[in-house]
C-alpha cells in the first residue's frame, strides 16, 4: 500500500471492531464519563492525574480533550493519530510521584506512580475498553463472542499505540475479563474524598450549574445511562441512590436508544447519520459552558480545590 494511502487509512481499518463500536455516538458520548467514574477508584491513576493535570479547574475540558485524543487514534488517519500520540507522550513525560496520603490498604502513602508504568498504562486501557464494551452492549446491541474478542484485541493495539507494552495486558478477552472483574471485586479499589466528589459530578450525581432545557435534559439522560451501567459495588462506593424508579427509567431509556439503532429493512434509519460519527464535536457544548463559568469566576465543580496536594499543604 502506498505511504499516502496508509497514512489516510489510520491504524485501524474501517471494518475493525474498534471503529465499528466507537463510531456509534451513543457509545462515544457515554463511555468516557463511565471510564473516568470507575477509573477514579484506582488511586494511583486518579491521584497521578489529579496532581499533574493542567485542567484541575476545567475537568470537563479535560474529558473532551481526552475523548478527542482517544478518537484520533481509534477513528482518525495515521497523521491525526500520530499527532495525538506525540501530544500525549509530551504531557505524560513529567507525570510521576508518590501518593501523598494513604489510599486504602493496598496503596499506602509513599506508593510510587508514573505515567510510564506498564501496569498503569494497562489499567487506563482496561477502564476505557470495559466502558466502550458495556455501553455498546447496553445502547446498540450485544456483541458476539468473536466481536468481543476482536474489540479487545483492537484496544490492546490501541494501548500499544499509546506506549503500553503488549505484555502488560492479558492475552485473551476471557483472561482480561477474569482479571478486571476480579480487580473490581477485590479490596484494592478505593475512592479518595476528592475522587468521590469529582466522580459524583462527572456522573451527574451532583449538578452545580444546570444548563437550559433541553440541553440539561439530554445531559441528565446521559448521566442516567452512566449511573445505571455502573457495577453495584461502584455505586455503593459513591453512595449513589439507586432504587426501582431509577432502574426503570434507566432501562426504558437504554431500550429506546437500542431500538433507534435498528434499521428497518429497505427503508433505512433516518437517524443513522446523526447517530454515527466522532463524538468530540458534541463535547464542545459542555466545554464551552465550563469556560464561561471559569471566566466568570465560578468553579466548574464546587468543593474541588483547584490546588494540588503539595500546594494545599505548603500554604
Question: In sequence order, what DSSP letters do the residues of 77-93 get, joined into one string?
Answer: -HHHHHHHHHHHHHHHT
Judge whether 157 and 126 are in contact, CB under 8 Å.
no
Roughly what angle, to the nearest 10 degrees, separates helices 31-39 and 59-75? 120
Average pLDDT over the chain, rounded to whole?
88
Q: What percent of the chain has pLDDT over 90?
A: 64
Q: Where are the alpha helices (DSSP H) in the chain?
A: 3-9, 17-22, 25-28, 31-39, 43-52, 59-75, 78-92, 118-139, 145-161, 173-185, 193-202, 215-229, 232-238, 244-260, 272-275, 280-295, 309-314
Q: Could you tell me the CA-to-CA distances from 294 to 61, 103, 195, 298, 306 in Å, in that order?
A: 11, 30, 21, 5, 11
Q: What percent of the chain has pLDDT over 70?
A: 88
Selected residue with higher pLDDT from 46 and 313: 46
Domain membership of residue 3 (yes or no) is no
Domain membership of residue 222 (yes or no) is yes
Which whole number is the average pLDDT over 193-218?
Answer: 85
Domain membership of residue 89 (yes or no) is yes
Judge whether 7 and 79 are in contact, CB under 8 Å.
yes
Q: Which of 278, 281, 262 has the alpha carbon at shortest distance from 270?
A: 262
Q: What is the pTM of this model?
A: 0.90
Domain membership of residue 314 (yes or no) is no
Contacts of residue 26, Cβ cutoff 8 Å, sequence gap at least 6? 135, 139, 140, 257, 261, 275
Return the pLDDT at 64: 85
Give the pLDDT confidence of 28-50 residue by residue, as tens digits. Answer: 989 999 999 999 999 999 999 88
Side-chain half-sphere CA neighbours of 231 within 13 A: 17
Which whole number is the average pLDDT over 114-123?
Answer: 96
Which whole number is the average pLDDT over 101-128?
Answer: 94
Domain membership of residue 311 (yes or no) is no
Roughly what angle, to the nearest 10 degrees, separates helices 118-139 and 43-52? 100
Kindly tell me the burial class for residue 71, based on how many C-beta atoms sit within 10 Å of its own C-beta (0-12, 13-18, 19 or more): buried
Does 80 score more than 60 pLDDT?
Answer: yes
Selected residue with higher pLDDT from 268 and 37: 37
Domains in the chain, number: 1
| CA pair distance 86, 308, nearest whole angstrom | 25
Domain membership of residue 8 (yes or no) is no
| CA pair distance 212, 100, nearest whole angstrom | 40
Does 98 score more than 70 pLDDT?
Answer: yes
Return the pLDDT at 65: 86
Does 271 score more than 60 pLDDT?
Answer: no
Domain membership of residue 306 (yes or no) is no
Judge whether 199 and 33 are in contact, CB under 8 Å.
no
Judge whether 80 and 72 are in contact, CB under 8 Å.
yes
**Cell numbers found for residue 222:** 446521559
Tell me the residue range of the domain where 295 lies. Answer: 17-265+275-301
| CA pair distance 58, 215, nearest whole angstrom | 19
| CA pair distance 143, 149, nearest whole angstrom | 9
Q: Could you tell me the CA-to-CA distances from 304 to 46, 57, 198, 290 in Å, in that order?
A: 14, 8, 7, 14
Domain membership of residue 135 (yes or no) is yes
Amino acid at each position: 500500500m502506498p505511504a499516502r494511502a496508509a497514512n489516510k487509512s489510520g491504524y485501524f481499518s474501517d471494518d475493525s471492531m474498534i471503529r465499528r463500536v466507537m463510531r456509534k455516538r451513543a457509545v462515544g458520548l457515554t463511555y468516557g464519563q463511565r471510564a473516568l467514574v470507575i477509573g477514579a477508584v484506582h488511586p494511583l491513576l486518579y491521584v497521578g492525574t489529579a496532581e499533574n493535570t493542567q485542567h484541575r479547574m476545567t475537568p470537563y475540558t479535560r474529558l473532551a480533550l481526552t475523548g478527542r485524543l482517544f478518537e484520533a487514534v481509534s477513528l482518525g488517519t495515521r497523521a491525526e493519530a500520530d499527532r495525538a500520540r506525540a501530544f500525549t507522550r509530551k504531557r505524560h513525560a513529567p507525570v510521576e510521584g508518590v501518593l501523598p496520603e494513604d489510599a486504602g490498604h493496598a496503596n499506602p502513602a509513599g506508593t510510587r506512580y508514573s505515567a510510564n508504568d506498564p501496569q498503569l498504562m494497562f489499567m487506563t486501557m482496561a477502564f476505557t475498553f470495559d466502558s466502550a464494551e458495556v455501553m455498546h452492549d447496553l445502547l446498540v446491541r450485544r456483541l458476539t463472542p468473536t466481536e468481543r474478542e476482536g474489540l479487545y484485541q483492537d484496544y490492546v493495539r490501541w494501548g500499544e499505540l499509546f506506549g503500553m507494552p503488549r505484555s502488560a495486558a492479558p492475552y485473551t478477552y476471557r483472561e482480561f475479563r477474569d482479571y478486571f472483574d476480579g480487580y473490581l471485586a477485590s479490596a484494592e479499589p478505593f475512592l479518595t474524598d476528592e475522587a468521590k466528589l469529582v466522580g459524583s459530578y462527572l456522573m451527574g450525581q451532583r449538578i452545580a450549574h444546570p444548563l437550559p432545557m433541553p440541553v440539561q435534559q439530554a445531559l441528565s439522560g446521559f448521566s442516567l445511562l452512566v449511573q445505571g451501567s455502573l457495577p453495584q459495588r461502584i455505586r455503593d462506593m459513591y453512595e449513589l441512590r439507586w432504587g426501582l424508579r431509577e432502574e426503570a427509567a434507566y432501562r426504558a431509556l437504554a431500550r429506546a436508544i437500542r431500538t433507534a439503532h435498528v434499521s428497518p429493512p429497505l427503508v433505512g434509519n433516518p437517524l443513522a447519520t446523526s447517530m454515527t460519527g466522532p463524538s468530540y464535536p458534541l463535547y464542545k457544548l459542555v466545554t464551552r459552558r465550563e469556560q464561561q463559568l471559569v471566566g466568570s469566576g465560578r468553579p466548574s465543580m464546587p468543593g474541588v480545590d483547584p490546588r494540588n496536594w503539595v500546594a494545599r499543604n505548603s500554604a
